[in-house]
Structure 1
């Protein structure tokens, strides 16, 4: 493990990170990770066990190579977007006031199944891939 986290595409590190979370939060986490993997089968995953976050992108560097982060909380699961302010969000799913970052608080499986969330993931992946061509 490096100081930056554990680089992996194996779900074991992610599952270990969320194991202390309530069952519904673990289910949201697995579904969120699966959604990212469906959209970007070549994703690079970095798990930070102590921070209880995982990042996804074209490489391991948080701000320059990653497009999404996931984090479990007690009553919701955060699906975060590093470059959210540069993405279209016609359904207004994104919350937050950061210069670039925004997030979606997942409180139900229905939220994870929304077409609009998948569209945000697809746009986020495409945006990062464009930056790294």
Structure 2
């Protein structure tokens, strides 16, 4: 059986609702925490198999142990990132980054974002993580 040319990024210890995620949000500036919290909920809503944990200071979503997305809070923005974002179809070119795999979308308070397009990216990343390994 063939395997992914690049192994999936896996993390153990995820929980359906990790209290560390809420604790982390509570320590961030309110405006950014509210923005991040909405996108964390979008990740949770992808499916009953989504688990979360804090990894590298970011709320990270996994299907089982396969990490597919994260939400990070920075000084002036929130990032929704994808561990295999370079492989996602992104016709509106929301994704930023030049690495081999990872991509992210920067969100700023009071700035417009195509929320439906970002939601589609999240769904694509979730679907890819849910699919059997190639």
Give the alignment's TM-score, normalised by structure 2: 0.81
- Aligned-residue offset at 1:9: 2.1
1:8 counterpart SS class: coil
1:42-121 correspondence runs (5 A): 42-48=49-55, 51-60=56-65, 65-108=66-109, 110-111=112-113, 114-121=115-122
Q: Cα deviation per residue 1:62-99 (whole Å; 9 max; x = unaligned)?
A: xxx11101111121111000111111000111001110
Q: Distance in 2 between matches of 1:47 and 1:28?
A: 17
RMSD between aligned alpha carbons? Answer: 2.1
Residue from 28, 37, 58 that aligns with 2:35? 28
- Aligned-residue offset at 1:40: 2.4
Q: Which contiguous aligned blocks of 4+ residues in structure 1 show a shift greater than 4 angstroms?
A: none
Identify if the C-alpha distance between structure 1 residues 125 and 35 changes in structure 2 by more than 3 Å, giving closer, same or farther.
same
Indicate the structure with greater helix content: 1
Q: Which runs of 5+ in 1 are unaligned?
A: none
Q: Which runs of 5+ in 2 are unaligned?
A: 1-10
- Aligned-residue offset at 1:132: 4.3
**Larger CA Rg, structure 1 vs 2:** 2
How many residues of Structure 1 are paired with residues of Structure 2 in the alignment? 123
- Aligned-residue offset at 1:108: 3.3
Q: Distance in 1 between matches of 2:103 and 2:14?
A: 23
Identify if the C-alpha distance between structure 1 residues 5 and 106 changes in structure 2 by more than 3 Å, giving closer, same or farther.
farther
Q: Distance in 2 between matches of 1:10 and 1:85?
A: 27
Give the alignment's TM-score, normalised by structure 1: 0.81
Larger CA deviation: 87-96 vs 35-44: 35-44
